[in-house]
Copies of this chain bind each other. A is one copy, B any other.
Amino acid sequence: MNSTVILIQCADRTGLVASVAKVLAAYSLNIEAMREYVDVEASLFFARLSCSGSLSDGQHLLEDLKEKLPQDASVIINPPSPKKLAVLVTKEYHCLGDILSRNFFKTPETDVCAVIGNHDYLRDFTEGFNVPYYHVTTEDKSKEAFEEEVQQILDRYNPDYLVLAKFMRILSPEFLAHYPNRVINIHHSFLPAFAGAHPYRRAFERGVKLIGATAHFVTPELDAGPIISQQTIKIDHTYTVAQMVEAGQEVEKTVLNRALKLVARDQVFISGNKTIVFE
């Protein structure tokens, strides 16, 4: 059965849903599911439609939709799938293992093209899943040089998204500028609590009764980008920092996996520093 997915982002104004619906009806596309949201403060309209019916001329539909929508509207018809992912890691394997297991069995929406580590520690593990591994050390070189090497590898693959799967380095604004809204990080706290380094140690010192994880898009400001998914779990006074790390890893895996699915299925829009997630 044919299914057409349409993503729209534009300035808000009266009658947008009606305009879109009318165009689609003219193409005999039946709206099966539609999610829309208006960010009132920003006066922006976001919609994700999935339609049944055979679409013969996507280019023509695109033009018709754009004509009826505010200028500068972003309209995407049937966004490409699977999304190509490059994964950056340091030494922790739990998020990477989760991503690579899924990838080994060819889940429909993502395709891992390469893993890059600033240590060589996860090479054997990664290659066991038949995925290329690149070791780029940070030693004896500037940050610029390190990022330059990483980017040269990435350029060979042209990934849709970079996934920081417990990558323990901070990327420069210059590097990030090459991948706007395309770098996804998993942070091991329920942001904005414990942004930055050593969140579990700080959670221990504060005596919190919950720990958590946050998947977010990376922006130049550390741990401050648009949040995609978050989850917490209960702990108690008996947890050492090491036990928090271990318990937290389960949550990190779950949250990052959730975020990657949502992004890869084109269910996530970005509005300023927030996400709109059509779950």
Contacts and interface: CB of A to CB of B under 8 A. Distances in A.
A277 to B, nearest CB: 6
A24 B31 CA distance: 17
A232 B212 CA distance: 10
Contacts of A208: 190-192, 227, 230
Nearest to A269: B237
CB-CB nearest 7 A-B residue pairs: A207-B274, A97-B101, A18-B25, A193-B193, A18-B21, A128-B128, A21-B21
A128 to B, nearest CB: 4
A130 B127 CA distance: 12
Nearest to A236: B277
A260 to B, nearest CB: 12
Contact of A93 (B24, B101, B227, B257): B101
In the complex, the count of this chain's copies comes to 4
A207 B230 CA distance: 11
B98 A104 contact: no
Interface residues of A, number: 66
A4 interface: no
A55 interface: no
Nearest to A206: B192
Given A34-B34, A206-B227, 15 more contacts: A18-B24, A21-B21, A21-B22, A37-B237, A94-B101, A94-B102, A190-B193, A192-B193, A207-B226, A209-B230, A209-B277, A210-B212, A212-B232, A250-B254, A250-B258
A238 interface: yes
A279 interface: yes
Interface in A189-221: 190-194, 206-210, 212
